[in-house]
Structure 1
């Protein structure tokens, strides 16, 4: 449940809470093929949305909105948009890589009790927003922080999330009646699962593997490494 603790009197994180946080963090998965149709209680969904809404945002602009998509007909339309985009995407790979791509399950649009689209209102906060004056894209990054909060809170509630990015943005915007200046950032399939895999599904499918952290760290400038 969201904490009622006074924001002015935050306490240090206990060792037990810290350990549980890392359990949630490293146990998060992009779920694709393990979804169940069991409904998510409103209290659980509210907890997850509450966590997402408490993400950091540039200038405290809170540029996000959450569109809850339950209507089967709407989700069927979105699924068809995915299929069209996925067919196009498959043609971008060649040979065995294309065959491997086509064998992957990359969405759960029709498999879950609810889909959630997290959007970014590029006009929120007015023409000048603290922190966006020199990096206008910071509102998009703020919205991605809300996505991450949503994902981690869902994992803490034992709810799975799958991010579907293989959809033409203009098509999705039209299907969701997004007004001018509001863009879709994340289309999420949300539901309980039969299991959370021990490793990312794409790693288990030998599509890609996790890079080593040491290879990602530079010192003072790009490409510079310390002893």
Structure 2
């Protein structure tokens, strides 16, 4: 049979349900063997046309980490201004753990992606979708290993690409903070902080055609 055991299946669903976007880390380093396992999990992700467009840069230099933190802080302020009436609320949130985490990774799209047409002729953004799958693999593997991960997207991609010497055409899409944690949040942090709530699955599953908002809530048009 192709089916896994009940215990193995339950573990998969459990790690999905208990994955969290972590912002609070302990200072303990991550063992090299563990980091290698997490990166290998990412490398096993599916990719359109098997193009494997992910590239990972491990930030080991403290000065470089500090510069990246400054970039994130700069964008955090810009984001707060763009939120207008929610600016003060946003500024109270902890949105990254760049300085505290045990490992810092920058995930990027590779250069020369235009040569890969299989699966991308009408949907060129499938390269980004593929890298997102790799990031999710790290996230789930990290949670299973008891390691926290936070996905930071508050940065200027051109500025970060220049800092890290990326070739033309490559694009950073994520800063990943990885590290040991005291505890995992019982619910998503933004839900705990009252920023947003998880929406109902039934409002996001349609059949045959797109369902409008009024119909999804059972309200008259």
The TM-score bracket by the shorter chain reads: over 0.9
CA contact (8 A) 1:91 1:98 kept: yes
Q: 1:205 aligns with which of 193, 210, 215?
A: 193
Aligned to 2:154: 166
Aligned to 1:5: none
Shift of 1:69: 0.8
State the superposition RMSD in angstroms: 1.8
CA contact (8 A) 1:117 1:188 kept: yes
For residues 143-162 of structure 1, the aligned pairs below 5 Å read 143-162=131-150
Aligned to 1:72: 62
**Is the counterpart of residue 120 in structure 1 residue 109 in structure 2?**
yes
Find the aligned partners of 1:195 and 1:42 in 2 and give their Cα distance: 22
Find the aligned partners of 1:123 and 1:182 in 2 and give their Cα distance: 8
For residues 43-122 of structure 1, the aligned pairs below 5 Å read 43-95=33-85, 97-122=86-111
Post-superposition CA distance 1:62-112 (Å, at most 9, x none): 0111111121100100111111111111112234x2221111010000001
Shift of 1:40: 0.6
Alignment: residue pair count: 215
The SS at the match of 2:109 is strand
Shift of 1:42: 1.0
Gaps of 5+ in 1: 1-9
Cα 1:141/1:122, change in 2 over 3 Å: farther
Cα 1:128/1:28, change in 2 over 3 Å: closer
Find the aligned partners of 1:24 and 1:64 in 2 and give their Cα distance: 23
Post-superposition CA distance 1:15-59 (Å, at most 9, x none): 100001111111100001x20111111111111111100000011
Find the aligned partners of 1:82 and 1:127 in 2 and give their Cα distance: 32
CA contact (8 A) 1:122 1:139 kept: no
Post-superposition CA distance 1:136-191 (Å, at most 9, x none): 11111101110111111111111111111111111111111111111112111110
Shift of 1:14: 1.0
The SS at the match of 2:56 is strand
For residues 12-27 of structure 1, the aligned pairs below 5 Å read 12-27=3-18
Shift of 1:11: 4.3
For residues 157-196 of structure 1, the aligned pairs below 5 Å read 157-196=145-184
Q: 1:29 aligns with which of 20, 30, 39?
A: 20
